[in-house]
């Protein structure tokens, strides 16, 4: 889920094909299943939100991203992200609800014609991590034009130089086609992505997971591997994921990828429902001599 201006949005299929030329990252076969549990036994829970409360998302854990509403969030997206508005972000019945709605918020000072409202929750300034296991249990919205994402950005703030980690993205016109992606400054050849079809992603909760270590990544849906990437001898430009990243969750509407098949206004409102977010980390390894 890109967040800084780019000149061209390349299809996820093209990213994967082009990446075959990169020598520093090694991809494992997609769709490989592993026995439960996939959470490593040495992982220690360091941060979580179980959403066992009612009302606004916990302000000690979550903030709202609204800074680029005037710029349509770089992809000509059609949502206006709100701040602390219960219609778009709330906790009820033990679940976080991020809701995208068809409505006119022209009374807002930074509104520039968006036809939809939504929310983009972010842990920036509250919590960030280097390495660990991220586990988000969620039910996704479907419908043409919807674009839900669970992802991470660098605290350094220099996109794309300092990287992006997409744990889960899905275009609602292709329900259940789950994508995980790594972005760097090296352009299309240096981005790695995998996808996995989950037929009931919009009807049932699934765990969207990432195991992030110093030597590489493994992405999962439940206990099935989406893809694995190894660092090898990659340079920082090829592998910019060895520093603190914060978490984001949102529903975009339309845009270069989310709106590739147009937007169906009749599907709204739609919800990204999150049962919990858990972040684990590993014991620090002794320095090599």
* Residues recognised as catalytic: 164, 169
Asked if 96 contacts 51 with a C-beta cutoff of 8 angstroms, the reply is: yes
CA distances from residue 249 to 13, 123, 256, 271, 282 in whole angstroms, order as listed: 23, 9, 19, 12, 24
DSSP H/E element including 26: strand 26-27
Phi, psi of 12 (to 5 degrees): -65, -35
CA 97, CA 91: separation in Å to the nearest integer?
A: 6
Contact (CB, 8 A) for 242 and 165: no
Q: Rounded to whole angstroms, what are the CA distances from 155 to 103, 126, 191, 282, 286? A: 32, 11, 20, 20, 25
């Amino acid at each position: 889920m890109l967040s800084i201006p780019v000149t061209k949005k390349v299809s996820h299929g093209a990213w994967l094909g082009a990446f075959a030329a990169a020598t520093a990252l090694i991809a494992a076969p997609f769709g490989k299943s592993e026995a439960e549990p996939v959470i490593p036994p040495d992982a220690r829970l360091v941060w979580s939100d179980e959403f066992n409360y009612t009302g606004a998302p916990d302000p000690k854990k979550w903030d709202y991203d609204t800074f680029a509403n005037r710029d349509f969030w770089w992809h000509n997206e059609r949502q206006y992200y709100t701040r602390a508005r219960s219609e778009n972000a709330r906790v009820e019945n033990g679940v976080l609800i991020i809701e995208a709605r068809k409505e006119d918020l022209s009374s807002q000072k930074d509104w520039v014609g968006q036809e939809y409202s939504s929310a983009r929750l972010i842990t920036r300034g509250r919590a960030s991590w280097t390495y660990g296991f991220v586990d988000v249990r969620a039910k996704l919205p479907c419908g043409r034009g919807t674009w839900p994402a669970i992802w991470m950005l660098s605290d350094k703030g220099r996109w794309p130089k300092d990287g992006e980690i997409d744990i889960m993205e899905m275009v609602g016109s292709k329900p259940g086609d789950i994508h995980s992606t790594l972005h760097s400054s090296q352009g299309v050849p240096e981005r790695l992505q995998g996808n996995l079809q989950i037929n009931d992603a919009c009807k049932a909760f699934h765990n969207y997971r990432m195991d992030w270590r110093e030597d590489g990544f493994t992405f999962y849906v439940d206990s099935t591997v989406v893809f694995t990437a190894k660092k090898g001898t990659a340079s920082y430009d090829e592998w910019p994921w060895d520093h603190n990243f914060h978490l984001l969750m949102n529903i975009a509407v339309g845009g270069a990828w989310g709106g590739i098949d147009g937007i169906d206004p009749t599907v709204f409102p739609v919800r990204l429902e999150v049962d919990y977010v858990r972040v684990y980390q590993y014991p620090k390894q002794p320095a090599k001599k």
